[in-house]
Amino acid sequence: MEQVEIEITGMAITARYGTLKSGTVLRTDSDFAAHLVNECGAAKYTGAAPAPAKTAVRAPAKPAKSKK
pLDDT of residue 34: 95
Annotated domain spans of the chain? 3-45
Instruction: Mention every residue, 6+ apart, whose C-beta is less than 8 A from residue 60.
Output: none
Which own/partner contact pairs does 45-50 have at CB distance under 8 Å and 24+ positions apart?
A: 45/4, 45/5, 45/6, 45/7, 46/5, 46/6, 46/7, 47/4, 47/5, 50/2, 50/4
pLDDT of residue 20: 96
Per-residue pLDDT tens over the stretch 38-64: 999 999 999 776 666 555 556 666 777
Per-residue pLDDT tens over the stretch 6-16: 999 999 999 99
pLDDT of residue 33: 95
